[in-house]
Amino acid sequence: MSTLTAAPESPEAAQAAPARPAYRVTGRRVLASEWAKLWSLRSTWITLGLSLLVLVAFGIIAASRYKSGIDSGRPMDGNFADATAVSLSLFGTNFAQLALGVLGVLVTAGEYSTGMIRSTMAAVPRRLPVLWFKAAVYGLVALVLATVGAFVAFLVGSQVVSGTPAAMGLGHAGVLRSLLGAGLYLGLVGVIGIALGALLRSVAGGISVLVAALMLVPGLISLLPSSWRGNIDPYLPSHAGESIFALTHDSTTLSPGAGLWVFLGWTALVLAGAAYRLLRSDV
Confidence check: pLDDT of 1 > 70: no
Alpha carbon distances (Å) from 42 to 39, 61, 99, 103, 106: 8, 28, 14, 11, 11
Confidence check: pLDDT of 156 > 70: yes
Residue type, 190: G
Determine, yes or no, domain membership for 131.
Answer: yes
Residue pLDDT, tens place only, 63-120? 888 888 777 766 666 666 678 889 999 999 999 999 999 999 999 998 888 888 788 7
CA distance 282 to 272: 17
Determine, yes or no, domain membership for 8.
Answer: no
Residue 208 · residue 91 · CB < 8 Å: no
- State residue 229's pLDDT score: 81
Of the given ranges (53-57, 134-138, 213-217, 251-255), which has the lowest mean pLDDT? 251-255
Greater confidence, 180 or 224? Answer: 180
- State residue 18's pLDDT score: 53
- State residue 51's pLDDT score: 93
For the chain, what is the mean pLDDT? 85
Structure confidence at residue 54 as a pLDDT band (50, 70, 90): very high
Mean pLDDT for 168-196 is: 93
Determine, yes or no, domain membership for 6.
Answer: no
- State residue 181's pLDDT score: 95
Structure confidence at residue 40 as a pLDDT band (50, 70, 90): confident
Q: How many domains, in total, are found in the chain?
A: 1
pTM for the structure as a whole = 0.86
Q: Which of 276, 267, 93, 113 is nearest to 194 (CA)?
A: 267
Greater confidence, 135 or 225? Answer: 135
Greater confidence, 11 or 128? Answer: 128
Q: Beta-strand (E) ranges in the chain?
A: none
Residue 178 · residue 87 · CB < 8 Å: no
Determine, yes or no, domain membership for 85.
Answer: yes
Greater confidence, 26 or 256? Answer: 256
Mean pLDDT for 30-53 is: 87
Confidence check: pLDDT of 10 > 60: no
Determine, yes or no, domain membership for 61.
Answer: yes
Mean pLDDT for 158-184 is: 89
Determine, yes or no, domain membership for 1.
Answer: no
CA distance 188 to 98: 12
Determine, yes or no, domain membership for 69.
Answer: yes
Structure confidence at residue 167 as a pLDDT band (50, 70, 90): confident
217: exposed, middle or buried (Cβ count in 10 Å: 0-12, 13-18, 19+): middle
For residue 229, give its domain range: 27-280
Residue pLDDT, tens place only, 57-78? 999 998 888 888 777 766 666 6
Confidence check: pLDDT of 171 > 90: no
